[in-house]
Structure 1
Amino acid sequence: MTEIVPEETARFVRALGPDPDEILEEMDAYGEEIGFPTVGPEVGGWLQLLATMVDARRIFEFGSGFGYSAYWFARALPADGELVLTEIDADELDRAREYLERGGFANCAQFEHGDAIDIVDAYDGPFDVVLIDNEKERYKDAFDAVRDKVAPGGVVIADNAMTSGVQDFETLLAWAEGDDPAMDAGTQGIADYLGMVRTDPAFETAVMPVGEGIAVSYRVT
């Protein structure tokens, strides 16, 4: 993870957020061991809280990895809720299934192997929460694919809204402040996404500086 706030601030957020259970702690350790960039407990706690705040019953993820963010979401769902995980790596999806089964959430989870942008077409809306965490240059495509399936009062959450291993924060900051800098593909993808959701009249968007930054877009109409 690329830190965007001081470590003391991140520790404070972790200490006052929802407590992870033993499986989430195991998932954190696994992510650190293999160098997998999970959203971390600071963002995970916010995912759980946002899902709770909108009384989420249906959640869709564009990119689930081994199920870390999905596990946080699952803790906010009712027993008859639905959580759709998508992952291009079959081994990671199998590991996600194992973790959610152990946590008692397998009954609400759908595990889809393949490209999330293709998979979402097979699902009818509405979704109360959508997480976009696939390739940065495809964030805009993901939003286009799911926009009309987001319920009024629902939220779209995009991870890596500020930084990641494939984008440059200083360039993104210059763009946000009105400059027109040259961008690599990852940075351009995030800029295109943020520009689109901020000007969409159906959504209100703000960026939260936790983890590597999350953009939260609330559907108002």
Structure 2
Amino acid sequence: MVTILSPEVSRFVRAVAPDSDAVLAEMDAYADEEGFPTVGPEVGAFLRLLARTTDARRIFEFGSGYGYSAYWFAEALPDDGELVLTEVDADELELAREYLTRGGYDELARYELGDALETIDRYDGPFEVVLIDHQKHRYVEAFEAIRPKVPVGGVIVADNAMTAGPIQFEQLLELVEGADPDDVNEDTRGIADYLETVRADPDFETVALPLGEGIAVSYRVRDGMS
């Protein structure tokens, strides 16, 4: 797996990021102990900043795990805001509830057990911020499902846009540059298809940022086709 930031740069980014509270520190320790993949504090702090700069009132997550990214988001929401967590693992979702409750954010959260792509059908927009962080081969489906519910000025963030356990970075690079390499696995192809889709959408402007395992940030610039 490709290393995006050197250990020294990662330390620097963490050192200048907003301080985490005791619950977040515990969540980081849990991830380290269990080997649980999270967006990490560098991306978490950036997600919270995005929520603040968009004046987000409602946030939707495709894949929430035990609530790590949701916890970062929660502090940026107003008291009457809404944060929708989706997760297929009941134990992880219950752990997310425990952490968010301890942080004082339980009233903001909606805990949805099951397929995120089925869950989003039950929610109307708008969602000012969306995080896509579930099965990589379904990222395009997630984008298409949430797209009509993101207003102008809203953002969609895709995690693992550059790397993750199964992602083949060299093949991904070739794909985004227009080549068609052999032996590309489903996850790598899924990320490449997602990036192609959002970059081709005239209503969104997309950039890739080398934080965590890479994130693609798509900002809605206009309200065109729905």
Q: TM-score range by the shorter chain?
A: over 0.9
TM-score by length of 2: 0.96
Quote the Cα distance in structure 2 between the aligned partners of 1:196 and 1:14.
31
**In structure 2, distance between residues paired with 1:103 and 1:148:** 32
Structure 2 match to 1:195: 196
Measured in 1, the distance between the counterparts of 2:174 and 2:37 equals 25
Q: Following superposition of structure 1 onto structure 2, how do residues 100-115 of structure 1 map, counting pairs within 5 Å?
A: 100-115=100-115
Following the alignment from structure 2 to structure 1, what is the Cα–Cα distance between the partners of residues 87 and 2?
A: 22
Contact 1:3 1:211 (C-alpha < 8 Å) held by counterparts: no
Partner residue in 2 for 1:95? 95
How far did 1:75 drift?
1.1
Q: Does 2:139 align with 1:143? A: no
TM-superposition CA deviations, 1:75-97 (whole Å, max 9, x none): 11111110000000000000000
- Residue in structure 1 matched with residue 187 of structure 2 by the alignment: 186
Structure 2 residue runs without a partner (length 5+): none
Q: Describe the SS at the equivalent of 1:151.
A: coil
Amino acid aligned to 1:184: N
Q: Over aligned residue pairs, what C-alpha RMSD do you find?
A: 1.0
Structure 1 letter corresponding to 2:162? M
AA partner of residue 160 (structure 2): N
Q: Percent identity?
A: 65
Q: Give the secondary-structure state (helix, strand or coil) at the position aligned to 1:165.
A: coil
Aligned to 2:160: 160
Measure, in 1, the Cα distance between the counterparts of 2:179 and 2:137: 20
* Partner residue, 1:119: 119
Contact persistence 2:176–2:195 (CA under 8 A):
no
Deviation at 1:174, TM superposition (A): 1.5
Deviation by residue 1:41-97 (Cα, 9 ceiling, x = unmatched): 000010000111101000000000000000000011111110000000000000000
Indicate if the aligned counterparts of 2:18 and 2:45 stay in contact, CA closer than 8 A.
yes
Structure 1, unmatched stretches of 5+, are none
Runs of 4+ in 1 over 6 A off after TM superposition: none
Give 1:176 deviation, angstroms: 2.0
| Equivalent residues, number | 221
Partner residue of 2:208? 207
Q: CA deviation at 1:2?
A: 6.3
TM superposition shift of 1:177:
2.2
Name which of structure 1's ranges 89-98 and 11-20 shifts more when overlaid on structure 2: 11-20
CA distance in 1, matches of 2:66, 2:162: 23
Contact 2:2 2:169 in 1 (8 A): no
Whole-angstrom distance in 2 between the partners of 1:200 and 1:9: 33
Shift of 1:175: 1.6
Tell me if the contact between 1:66 and 1:94 (Cα under 8 Å) persists in the aligned partners. yes
Aligned to 1:14: 14
Q: How does 1:65-80 map to 2 (within 5 A)?
A: 65-80=65-80
**Contact residue 130 and residue 155 of structure 1 kept, 8 A:** yes
Offset at 1:32? 1.0
TM-score when normalising by structure 1: 0.98
Structure 2 counterpart of 1:200, which letter? D
Correspondence for 1:24: 24
**Which residue does 1:64 correspond to in 2?**
64
Shift of 1:151: 1.2
Which residue type is aligned with residue 147 of structure 1? R
